[in-house]
Structure 1
Amino acid sequence: MRGALLLLGVGASAVLASPQGGGYGGYGGYGGGGDDDHRTSTTPTSTTAPPQTSGTTTTGNVSSSVLLGMNGDTVCTPYLCVGALVNGTTVQYTLQSLGKADLGWMAMGFGQTMANSPMVIMWPNADGSVTLSQRQASAEVMPTVVPTPPRIATKQPALSSLTGSNPKLVYTIPANTDTQQGIIWAFGSQRPSSAAEDATLLQHVLSGPTKLNLGNTLAADSRDPTNPISSLSGSDTPPPSAGVSTPLLPYQKMIVAHAILCVVGFLAILPAGALLARWLRTFNPIWFKGHHLLQLFISLPIIVPGVALGFAAVHKAGAEHLSDDHMKWGLGIFVLYIIQLMVGEFIHTIKPKSWSVDKRRPPQNYFHAILGLLIIALAFYQVRTGYKTEWPKQTGRGEISNAANIVWYVWVVLIPVLYFGGLVFLRRQYKQERMTRPKHRDETSESEEMRPRYRDSPDHS
């Protein structure tokens, strides 16, 4: 049981400390996959053209000295950097890829959650043009085009660059009154199939919330908001990542709670109940009371809320229920668990004649034991797919620490070893059962140790 709690602690802490940033929730189940480990150069691009600093004009590839003293900020995430340069009544935003994956599309929204945040999504097309699409979503689902956005963004193809290992896409938008600008971002590695503003967006690699300080005054050591991968001093040091301490979104917190409760219920309480029955049934007649307590009165109040939180997280994210194997297997295992509880209550409440007369073990007892072992085995598989596949897919935060893998492997070996080790008492169990049958009732055992102790009924203590 300590191993299960360790797995729980490692998994939860690894999730909370995941360095890949937060997620949108995967556009209704189309979550990001994980991190692409190949990296390319982030050599800064030279800048030469002078800026214009008033009205609604744009500021593009300018010399770093001209930008000194202007207001702007830059934030970098694991896959892209976002630069903001305040230019009079407009703000110029530059989305620049870090080259860790092929550029399909890049997006940013004005808000800290995907739901109801106005978004600007941009992608390059095969003919060299750039598409800008302003969208919004009511939940963590694929956003749709907004015909009349609150602020109209204008793409700047002349300032964008589609060549090299760090392509960038630039647009301008009227400034609002926010100095601390909360944004959400996303990076997709698969380009939409068309240049239409309402083209379908394929899955993002990663996404999350962050902030920009539009009141920040640019200094020599500031990063260049028009070329965010570089600094105004010309330094080519790797850009800092803003995803290290990204807070969990509400639906992600539900997923964490779902995982904690289900790991405790299925991989700690249920195995403990099975081990108690396997090891103590031939030594102490009260084994059943402990088994009954663990499998019903302790596990049920933990597992039911855990499963319910899984459904609630899907609903909160605006995703589709039962849309992938993890969700379907989870529901199936829960149904088997409820059936197992009913079978257990039936076995220990209603005794067939074969048991009440000659104490012969009925078939449902064997079914109950096999089904219990099957549920635990499936739970091991389900927990692994949950932290290995479902978490990065549905949150866009990437895989959790490998420590969870290590503890899972230890636990998946330890539990079967302990259970099957208890089978050494099976012969003793069967002998005790035979001794409780009518023809043995008046016989006296030669060994105090082998006197009838076996009980398989709640009315015996």
Structure 2
Amino acid sequence: MSIYSKRNVWCAIFLYFTLVQVGYGLNRYCLKEVDYCFTITLPQNNETLVHFRLEAPSTAGWLGLGIGKDMTGYLMIAWANDDGSITLSQREGEEGVQPLATDQQSDLQLNMDTSKINENDKFIVEFTRPLKVKGNTIKTKQDFAYAYSTLNPYDKDINAYLARHDYNGHIKLNLADGVSELSQYDRLIIAHAALMFSAWLVIIPGAVFIARFARNFLPTTWFKLHVGIQVFLSLPVIIAGSSLSFAAAGNLTFDDPHKIVGFVLFLGFFIQLAIGAIHHHLYDPKRLRTPWWTQLHWWFGRALVVLAAFQIPLGLKLYGVDMAYYYIYYIYLFILLIAFSFLSFRLWNRGQDNGFKRMRDSQDDGFKQMQNS
């Protein structure tokens, strides 16, 4: 594949991730994984109240809606009680701290007639609040954070303890004309996902395929291609993708498996480059057996790619994407595994026909020619 073809694939993936994520609705957004939807309507005519409608399955534990880019700051939390009543709590949240009820609960007015678990087994919460309250104002183009938990507080008190959410996310709504826009956070995360997917499951596997399967017909150039791709393509893409995730999060925390594995992969890539440099420096074309540092380079690289393959679904879950993304990813991964297995079998079969020693010698001669060139 030429560098132009790779660039086209990269652009196609980025555009796919970007365009599919843009949603449209009348001041409405839905978290499809759990069928949690919220609708926000600005004051009409001479009204001064913003109308909110939250809808989720009756099995929902608690529903959260925040005015801002994450579930910190101004929050509105609702849950159903055993006696059929609904608790609506206005809270103030901080990162890593249980959000506490404010002293301005009267800002929120629950509609007792429409807020209930209805005949369709849906948990409906409808309420209003002024456009501007103490410490918070809703704008025409507004960022909303949302959260969904399967664990009910089982306590009517507005300051009841809330278990950690199972799903959360962030969306920017244009409440004037009903168009849902991608927020800055979403754009950064989507770009991060596109770059990291391209690096770990397109570019790096391509370099691995060249090193493993292209030695016979590219005896003097396979190594230059392998190193060039890793240093001049994979490296800047990984650095750029990592920088975007840091910019989106605003800090460096390890409170999620995706972040932990991502940091391990980031460090592992540089370790693999160092091992590869050692392998190249100590390479002996007259060797009779493969040294341990070469085998370490092989197996450590394979381990990184496998870890990256598990990392992608962790990121999809963290961002809360539709199941369609998982299906597309698993189909792509299946095709990649089939291609690797087929080429590995052909390589093994060729070795059986020609003899492993003669095959290895021809590769080593090519490597020697490349070094002397």
Tell me the TM-score normalised to structure 2 length.
0.74
> In 1, distance between residues paired with 2:225 and 2:346?
20
> In 1, distance between residues paired with 2:9 and 2:130?
51
> In 1, distance between residues paired with 2:78 and 2:322?
23
> In 2, distance between residues paired with 1:332 and 1:429?
35
1:299 is aligned to 2:299: no
Q: Which runs of 5+ in 2 are unaligned?
A: none
Higher helix share: 2
Name the stretch that deviates more: 298-307 or 451-460. Answer: 451-460
Contact 1:151 1:174 in 2 (8 A): no
- 2:127 alignment partner AA: Y
Give the aligned CA root-mean-square deviation in angstroms.
4.2
1:79 is aligned to 2:37: yes
Residue 417 of structure 1 is aligned with which of 329, 337, 342?
342
| Mapping for residues 75-224 of structure 1, pairs under 5 Å | 79-82=37-40, 90-91=48-49, 93-97=51-55, 100=57, 102-110=59-67, 113-114=69-70, 118-137=74-93, 144-145=99-100, 147-148=102-103, 152-157=107-112, 160-165=115-120, 166-176=122-132, 180=140, 182=142, 184=144, 186=146, 188=148, 189-198=150-159, 199-203=161-165, 205=167, 208-213=171-176
CA gap of 1:148–1:7, structure 2 versus 1, over 3 A, is same
> In 1, distance between residues paired with 2:261 and 2:115?
46
Deviation at 1:346, TM superposition (A): 1.0
Aligned to 2:198: 264
Aligned to 2:323: 399
> In 2, distance between residues paired with 1:451 and 1:382?
34
Residue 16 of structure 2 is aligned with which of 10, 13, 20?
13
Deviation at 1:341, TM superposition (A): 1.4
Deviations 1:277-323 (A, max 9, x none): 3344345334322222223333222223323434444x33x7x8333
CA gap of 1:273–1:261, structure 2 versus 1, over 3 A, is same
The alignment partner of 2:158 has SS state of coil
CA gap of 1:128–1:93, structure 2 versus 1, over 3 A, is same
The alignment partner of 1:79 has SS state of strand
> In 1, distance between residues paired with 2:191 and 2:18?
11
The alignment partner of 2:242 has SS state of helix
Contact 1:4 1:268 in 2 (8 A): no
Aligned to 2:288: 360
Aligned to 1:459: 371
Deviation at 1:200, TM superposition (A): 1.3
Aligned to 2:210: 276
Aligned to 2:256: 324
- 2:227 alignment partner AA: H
The alignment partner of 2:208 has SS state of helix
Q: How many positions carry a matched residue from both structures?
A: 353
**Higher normalized contact order (CA 8 Å, seq sep 6+, divided by chain length):** 1
1:431 is aligned to 2:363: no
Contact 1:429 1:454 in 2 (8 A): no
Deviation at 1:334, TM superposition (A): 3.2
Tell me the TM-score normalised to structure 1 length.
0.62
Contact 1:261 1:303 in 2 (8 A): yes
> In 2, distance between residues paired with 1:125 and 1:451?
71
Higher strand share: 2
Deviations 1:159-215 (A, max 9, x none): 6444433443343433549784746364635422322323215425565443445xx
Deviation at 1:114, TM superposition (A): 3.3
CA gap of 1:420–1:329, structure 2 versus 1, over 3 A, is farther
- 1:210 alignment partner AA: L
Residue 349 of structure 1 is aligned with which of 281, 306, 329?
281
Deviation at 1:84, TM superposition (A): 6.1
Aligned to 1:309: 244
CA gap of 1:154–1:301, structure 2 versus 1, over 3 A, is same
> In 2, distance between residues paired with 1:100 and 1:19?
24
